[in-house]
Amino acid sequence: MTLLPHRLLVPILALLAPLALCAIVLHLAWGMLTAVLLFPLLGQDTRDALVRFWSRIVLVLLGIRLELSTESDSVLPGPGQGALFVMNHVSWVDVFVICALVPVRFVAKSEIAGWPVLGRFAGAVGTVFVERGRRHAVAHVNAAVAARLQAGALIGIFPEGTTTDGSRLLRFHANLIQPAIDAQVPVVPLALHYHQDNSPSAAAAFIDDMTLAGSLWRTLIAPRLAVRVHWLPSLAVAGQSRHDLAAQAQAAIGRALQLDERGALDAAAPAEAAPVLQSQPQGGS
């Protein structure tokens, strides 16, 4: 079957985008009400299933196809076993992508807690908030994350500390990998690759001075947009430093994304910073 070229699909998607926006607003409202009103009454397994279902619907409304690629030794931690998920960061969509697959709680900067609607939803689903640039705050969060990992939680971090267009990796900061060592749980690298017709795409990227509204619009009018999640083999933490683990996770993700050594690393990044969920593009934080 012959597929319509992108130049013909874009105006069609632009006409449909207002309907998609209305559906997304209603879906966000439903998610917030469910999280705030019902979550306190539900068991953890039910809450996790609702978040997974809700996140998958978000991707459908955004027109993003979700693909999962695994290797033979890529396994989900067993029941009650915690794990630290480490990912490259391209977009605000990344969180929904991961939550559509596995019940991960994210470490996010504290400003997100004050966001209308999404801030309350993030808190209700178990997000761990950290104040950027304050080392004592990072230490406090690390202790809280280690406790959750020991209790069997799955925690996700974006160790680049900000977003890129997906064509490179920034240096992985090691601070928030320490809780995995303290809790003696595996580090699981995940590589996120956005593409259109199997060609790399920056349509979902949230970078530079881009606004959230502008990013949402670009995503909605991108024809045949998909995100492939490469679930990579876990990294054992015994006998390793956080810097070793950060370097190994970055190398594994770079290989999965087929980035060459120059494209996979921004050597100018500082060695220690607090990597947190990016809520503003690089130019706006």
pLDDT attached to residue 244: 96
pLDDT in the model for residue 77: 75
Q: pTM for the whole thing?
A: 0.86
Position 135 pLDDT exceeds 70? no
Q: What is the pLDDT of residues 72-127, one digit of tens each?
A: 677 777 778 899 999 999 999 999 999 999 999 988 777 777 766 667 677 767 78
**Region 259-284 average pLDDT:** 46
* 67-76 CB contacts, 8 Å cutoff, 24+ apart: 67/226, 67/227, 67/228, 67/229, 68/101, 68/228, 68/229, 68/231, 69/228, 69/229, 69/230, 69/231, 70/230, 70/231, 71/231, 71/232, 71/233, 73/233, 74/231, 74/232, 74/233, 74/234, 75/234, 76/102
Q: What pLDDT does 116 receive?
A: 61
Any idea which residue has 């999962």 for tokens?
Answer: 68
How wide is the angle at C-alpha 176 spanned by C-alphas 172 and 179, nearest 5°? 135
Would strands 83-87 and 128-130 be described as parallel, antiparallel, or unpaired?
unpaired
Q: What angle do CA 35, 36, 41 make, to 5 degrees?
A: 80
* Residue range 12-22: mean pLDDT, rounded: 94
CATH 2.60.40 for the 6-284 domain, yes or no? no
The domains of the chain are located at 6-284
